[in-house]
A and B are shown apart, each in its own frame.
Chain A
């Protein structure tokens, strides 16, 4: 199956700092999504972004499909941004998503 690698695995930030999370994938994809897993375990959709750039408030994402990577930008981080961020890709169009191992973000006040 496809390989999905996320970096860094852990990230500690001071509140107000900016960060960039990276997701590399080993094959062409039809679907790529970023999720934030909250402390209670729920995965919250952030972006559907198989290519191009999108922004939603302090978050933005860019996927360069030809080079097989995606970036998630968090600006002016807040303590509520803490949690684990996952990148997931689908290549078969049957909602069979392959997840990276995640980036664990800790934003300190």
Chain B
């Protein structure tokens, strides 16, 4: 079974631009969550989608948004990029939530904002 696939793996953007990152979960998984990792703040939860519905959201500004499609693939978008948005963005998938649930991460998308 293929793992979680994230694209693109590396990208460089300019301040003020927007970026869209994609995540394909493990086949059969309906939950997709996103995390931002920076040296200063560590790993922080962005949002989680289950069957196309956002169930939970972290403390990030509205410039960060996401969505999930009917095939469980997910995208996240960051508009009006700032230098501080430079980070590793990680996507995780699982087949549910709660006790007994295990999440699996993709390799991440390295975003550099210049």
Contacts and interface: CB of A to CB of B under 8 A. Distances in A.
Contacts of B110: 41
Contacts of B44: 99
Contact of A96 (B42, B56, B90): B56
B58 to A, nearest CB: 7
Interface in A17-54: 30-31, 33, 35, 40-45, 48, 50
B107 A42 contact: yes
Contact of A92 (B37, B56, B90): B56
A97 interface: yes
Contact of A95 (B42, B92, B106, B108): B92
Q: Which of B101, B103, B106 gathers most chain A CB within 10 Å?
A: B103
Contact of A43 (B42, B90, B98): B90
A73 interface: no
Interface of B: 31, 33, 35, 37, 42-45, 48, 50, 55-56, 58, 88, 90, 92, 94, 97-108, 110
Interface of A: 30-31, 33, 35, 40-45, 48, 50, 86, 88, 92-102
